[in-house]
Amino acid sequence: MSEPADDSALLREQLKRDPESVLAAAFTRERARLWRMVQFRLDPIVAARVDADDVLQDAWIAAAQRVTYFIEHESLSMFVWLRLIVDQAIVNLHRHHLGAEMRDAHREVSINRPAAAISSSASIAARLVGQMTPPSQVAMRHELAQQLEKAIEGMDPIDREVLALRHFEELTNSEVAEVLEIEQKAASIRYVRAITRLKAILQALPGHDGGAGNG
């Protein structure tokens, strides 16, 4: 959905002729957006051990090995396919470094760390807390993060993911629809609903004005 049908067909033809060079150019073009995704999604424990650029390197190798899959699945846009590859690389890293503790590991990590946690609710909470409080207020950050994460967990899971994709990863509405396999109109409605819910959550916090920021 990211590129017009004609451009998508041309891209696939170019990939058939020169897969490595064409894929490298596409990956470079989308690298900044994929890097932002890694920063948002990577668990803090893993982020302390693995650099975001290393995650993208692993994803590049995987994409190069699977380029035939992209060529054959014409409904996929290049960016969304690369994002899927990066997402799998993140999942693999979480399994390797966190193992059985994946679900709860982020609760043991200081909210001051720059990366976000494994779930979208924890990631959103961490990003918002980073915007709302100075690094010196460690205790306030922990308490606020716990309150926010609990409240955000109460949102509809798809609404929460739409919010994460649109507001924090900065995907377009059509890309969100493609990632979640829903209609664009539904993605738009869910985003408005999620933003409204998030603002209500922030406004309910003591001492905060409810601004959601720009991610």
Domains of the chain and any CATH numbers:
5-101 (1.10.1740), 119-203 (1.10.10.10)
Going by pLDDT thresholds of 50, 70 and 90, the confidence category of residue 204 is: confident
DSSP H or E stretch at residue 95? helix 78-98
Chain position carrying tokens 């969304």: 80
Amino acid of residue 61: I
Torsion of CA 139, 145, 147, 149, to 10 degrees: -160
Question: Rounded distance, CA 150 to CA 69, Å?
Answer: 39
Identify the pLDDT of residue 108: 40
pLDDT digits (tens, 9 = 90+) for 144-203: 888 888 889 899 999 999 999 998 999 999 999 999 999 999 999 999 999 999 999 888
| pLDDT band (50, 70, 90) for residue 5 | low
Structure-block tokens of residue 61: 């190798």
If one compares 84 and 209, the residue with the highest pLDDT of the two is 84
Q: State the distance between the two ends of the chain, measured CA to CA, in whole angstroms.
A: 23
pLDDT at 97: 87
The average pLDDT across 71-82 equals: 96
Tell me what the mean pLDDT of segment 39-52 comes to: 90
Contacts of 213 (CB under 8 A, 6+ apart): 128, 131
Q: What distance in Å separates the CA atoms of residue 124 and residue 127, rounded to the nearest whole number?
A: 5
Q: What is the pTM of this model?
A: 0.80
Structure confidence at residue 119 as a pLDDT band (50, 70, 90): low
Q: Write the CB contacts of 203 (distance below 8 Å, at least 6 apart in sequence).
A: 209, 210
Residue 112 reports pLDDT greater than 50 = no
At 214 the pLDDT is: 45
Using one digit for the tens of pLDDT, what is the confidence trace for 123-139? 888 888 877 767 667 67
pLDDT of amino acid 2? 52
Q: Could you tell me the pLDDT band of residue 215, with boundaries at 50, 70 and 90?
A: very low
Q: Which residue has the tokens 């693999």?
A: 92
